[in-house]
Chain A
Amino acid sequence: MTKTITDVICPFCGTLCDDLIVTTDDEGKKIVDVENACAIGAEKFISASNHQHRKTRPRKLQEDGSFKEITYDEAVEYTAQMLVNAKKPSMYGWSSTSCEAQSVGHEIAELCGALVDNTAAVCHGTTLVAVQNVGIPSCTLGEVKNRADRIIFWGCNPAHAHPRHMSRYSIFPRGYFTGKGQKQRKIIVVDPRPTDTAGIADVHLQVEQGYDYELLQALRAAVRGQEISGDIVAGVPKEKVYEAAEMLKSGRFGVIFFGMGVTQSLGKDHNIDAAIMLTSDLNNYTKFSIIAMRGHYNVTGSGQVLGWQFGFPYSVDLSRGFARYNPGETGTIEVLKRKEIDAMFVLGSDPGAHFPMQCVKEISRLPSVAVDPHITPTTEICKVHVPVAFVGVEVGGNCYRMDNVPIEARKVVEPPEGMMTDTEFLKAVLKRVKELRAD
């Protein structure tokens, strides 16, 4: 008899779907089917339960470039010694793990005077800075489903990056006041490329690459009924800008979703400032919200836990004995570039694949530990790789959706025998760090 587990949370993207149905074999060890998930989410479950390709014990990099298996105890000892002996270690990642693990990690960071940073550093960090500048009028995704009749996707492509976003929350669902679903909604996509998301839009504003700020400010002007100079703004004809502004104002409830296309392109946080102010302005005419399309399934949670424990959402520097926050100075990329840290701990992220090469080289030079269920570019350049159970598949824990709604991930199968979870590993490191510091 197979076992069926319902209401499973998908630990992949910030959409954090919580309606998956997972079927396991009769021993509850292998996942045989995943329903309701997108292709990416389903693959995460299926591949997790395929143990052949996984490392199940920590490994240490040898002088000849090969890896030698070590015990979890040895990995705990290496990690604790590395963090305690470092003057300024960095503890980066935290986006693909549970809030429980983050919390233990923060306590270690506090004791060791580490920098704590999450993947917002290469993602929505600019959004967080913009929110600190101008605030953020927002709502939960259920509000979008029940009320929204105007949807903008700006610099994001949910058709591929957040595959179920459109069907669960934004374009297709029929909600309380939106009984006709998609027919009741006008969709605007702003993207330099004709993406698959743009393909289903009512209006595609093909902004010239790098000119998002200009287009946003033009829209603000148009919303206020002001004259726009020039016939073409950021590659978009002036008439089209007025038309779009009118479409936004005429709705009853609108929402802007935005992604990497605006947060990490020219202008960065200034783009988001403008997008948020456009949302604020629109609230003088109708109801409008703005939501960041967060990537990792719990990058939002990392910002939350950092927030209530230290008061800042990312780039937190604890090395002086109290929390400091100055993105651009205390961020992981910056300190790696300046060669300012002397140890690197990575959990729940893959900087080896996403950081500038200069930083990746620096990580490979440093004493370093990567905690990750997968083999990744990061685990290959770190001195020690600690494989752990998959959060959301082999161990539960709290996660925050892109709209900050907390949902507790479930455990559906047992991890390979003898494997630690990341919370267990961190707790062991914390214990050892306390012992070492007591000496």
Chain B
Amino acid sequence: MSEYIIKNGKVYDPKTGIKGDISDVCIKNGKIAEKVSSKAKIIDAKGKTVMAGAVEVHAHVAGPKVNEGRNFRPEDKLFTYQPTGKNTRMAGGFSIPTTFKTGYEYAKMGYTTVMEAAMPPLYARHVHEEIKDTPIIDEGAFPVFGNNWFVFEYLKNDEMDNVCAYISWLLRATRGYAIKIVNPGGSEAWGWGENCATVNDPVPYFDITPAEIVKGLLTANEKMGLPHSIHIHSNNLGNPGNFETTLDTLKIAEGVRPDNKFGREQVLHHTHVQFHSYKGDNWANFESGSKEIADYFNKNKNMTMDLGCVTLDETTTMTADGPFEHHLTSLNHLKWANVDVELETSSGIVPYVYDPNIKVCAIQWCIGLELGLLAKDPMRTFITTDHPNAGPFTRYPRIMKWLMSDKTRQNMLKGFKNSDKVIAATNLASIDRELTMYEIAQMTRAGPARSLGLYNIFGGLAPGMDADVAVFNIDEDRIEDPEDIEKAFSAADCVFKSGTMVVENGEVISNGNKRTLWVDAKIPMNQQVKRDVQMKFLKFYSMNLNNYEVSNHYVPNPYVIEVDN
């Protein structure tokens, strides 16, 4: 494998603590190396920024609802298509790009690892088929557990060993990475057209509450010592006044200490917090609850979050939170797709236009950025758009620009049609913090990697780590126009994935050697769980047990994280 040396760049790497010093990065045999031979190819990064490849902690990029979104929105492809290239397939779509485009666009922005945020276990094979067709980037997928009948029953009977054995089995069967919880209990209630709006609403027929589900899965996660913590989208998403439900959910994790061998420091990851930080009790007095949420996060260090920033685009919302999407379609009257999945989850899809002229949308835009600016620890706060829910991932460079430049934020605020009302309902106008390049590296590289339990291989530039490196044509000390930030991060100068140069001058030059990450928790099936699984498949599933597990050829290049706690 070729050797490279990236010379004289400004390096930002939280792993080694380099904060913009001029330094060389060596690549050898697919890993970061101390030094390379004289044959190494030299990349001149003088005046440029060098970071590790970025790690995406939460995006909907593969699977049944993403594909339903593609197929039911032909309009999303308009004016977006790129023809077949020398190294690339034809690629199109804006908020829900094709798998090929997903891989190319992430790589061009210097992202090298991506987590698919919600995998319905019954559809795991579909998720992996799409992952297989997404070039370059390493990917993993989180199976959803928060509305699973096995989990409900074991937790209700206080059978923690069985919960762990079942989780371990399901992670293996679906080649999954972590425990995802979406609207705990609420998506099951949606099977009857109902919902769980607070953490104490009982789930119909199952005699369990969202709080008990979260607490139970959190306990199981730490007992098993999985690389990632529970990854939660709490109840009551998107409603005015929901910040209290969010706090109630977070409180469940208060005081719990992480127990794992992967260097993970949190016990709970709350995703797309922007959607969960609303005050007011209706759309008229809707306002930002970012201060309350950020304060809580700043005080409780055993949690991480990602932002879910609204980018003010036309996009496609999709979530395993079925009742929310029904609520949304009754608000905006756009087409609605729904899929309830037996014994496991529900999901829904609705297109959405975040119009800056609409007060609520502009307030949502503020909240996402406020959370990023009010959070004191960038190692626990990650940039996302909950792609494609609050906007497409291709807008990350724009969010970086907003976070790094007070001027662009204030200009946006002034330009809104309802500027005064938006400013009155939010905190953004009074926040002048500008994030540094180092903090961006923490929020997009080191932080998410540590949160996922992957900080020994991804998200840093220490020798021995995977050689995922991105070089951007920007110098933090010489930014004349904030637009340059967006431009530089949109098309990296060059990107390496596991030591292979995949992007050069903003163009994809290689499809790399993508891997699928999954977690093998190695807890043996006990007789009870074995019997329960057999019985449920016999009586309630529409598929036979022996056809459920994803076979190895759908995961042709696996990277298995083995857990031995």
Q: Which residues of A contact B (CB under 8 A)?
A: 6-7, 9, 18-19, 99, 103, 107, 110-111, 128, 131-143, 145-147, 168-169, 174-177, 252-253, 280, 283, 286-287, 289, 303-305, 307-313, 318, 321-323, 325, 398, 400, 404-408
Contacts and interface: CB of A to CB of B under 8 A. Distances in A.
B544 A135 contact: no
7 contacts: A7-B547, A135-B338, A138-B337, A139-B342, A142-B540, A307-B68, A405-B543
A283 B126 CA distance: 28
A20 B133 CA distance: 31
B502 interface: no
A143 B98 CA distance: 29
Contacts of A169: 542
B293 to A, nearest CB: 32
Cβ-closest 4 pairs across A and B: A142-B342, A135-B335, A142-B542, A322-B81
A35 B418 CA distance: 68
Contacts of A7: 544, 546-547
Contacts of A321: 83-84, 90
A304 B342 contact: no
Contact of B338 (A138, A142, A176, A305): A138
Nearest to B549: A408
B71 A139 contact: no
A140 B336 CA distance: 16
Interface string B128-144: 01100100000000000
Contacts of A252: 192
Contacts of A141: 342, 542
A304 B133 contact: no
A322 B89 CA distance: 10
A406 B81 contact: no
A305 B431 CA distance: 46
Nearest to B62: A308
A267 to B, nearest CB: 19
B82 A307 contact: no
B65 to A, nearest CB: 10
Nearest to B124: A406
Given A287-B192, A309-B98, A408-B125, A135 B542 contact: no
Contact of A135 (B72, B90, B539): B72
B342 A128 contact: no
Given A312-B74, A322-B81, A18 B192 contact: no
A308 B92 CA distance: 10
A218 to B, nearest CB: 23
Contacts of B350: 135
Task: Give the residue among B71, B84, B96, B335 with the most A Cβ atoms within 10 A.
Answer: B71
Contacts of B540: 142, 145-146, 175-176
Interface in B33-75: 62, 64, 66-68, 70-74
B543 A110 contact: no
B316 to A, nearest CB: 11
B72 A131 contact: yes
Given A253-B191, A322-B92, A143 B551 contact: no
B78 to A, nearest CB: 10
Contacts of B123: 404-406
B100 interface: yes
Contact of B193 (A140, A280, A283): A283
Given A110-B90, A313-B71, A323-B92, A398 B129 contact: yes
B133 A143 contact: no
B541 A308 contact: no
A304 B98 CA distance: 11
A135 B337 contact: yes
